[in-house]
Amino acid sequence: MPIGEIKDRFFLSPREAIDEIVGPATHGDAWQKQLPAGNDLVKIALRNLYTVLQGGKITAYHHAFDGHERQLTAIEAANEFFKIDLDRNCCLFGPIEGPPRELKISRADLVAFLDSAQSADEAQPPSDLEQCTCWLIERLSTTGRRPLNKELEPEALQRWPKLSKRQYKNARGNARARMGKAATDFSGRPRLEKPAHSG
Q: Is the pLDDT of residue 82 over 70?
A: yes
Give residue 121's pLDDT: 56
**pLDDT at 188 (0 to 100):** 47
Q: How far apart are CA 107 and CA 113, in angstroms?
A: 10
User: Per-residue b/e over 80-114, b at no fewer than 16 CB within 10 Å?
Assistant: eebebbbeebbbbbeeeeeebbbbbbbbebbeebb
Q: Say which DSSP state 170 is in.
A: H
User: Residue 53 belongs to what H/E stretch?
Assistant: helix 40-54
Percentage, residues of the chain above pLDDT 90: 42
Please give the Cα distance from 79 to 54 (Å, whole number).
9
pLDDT at 124 over 60: no
Residue 135 CA to residue 116 CA, distance in Å, equals: 26
Per-residue CA distances from 180 to 30, 103, 197 (Å): 9, 31, 27
φ and ψ at 11, to 5 degrees?
-125, 145
Global pTM value: 0.58
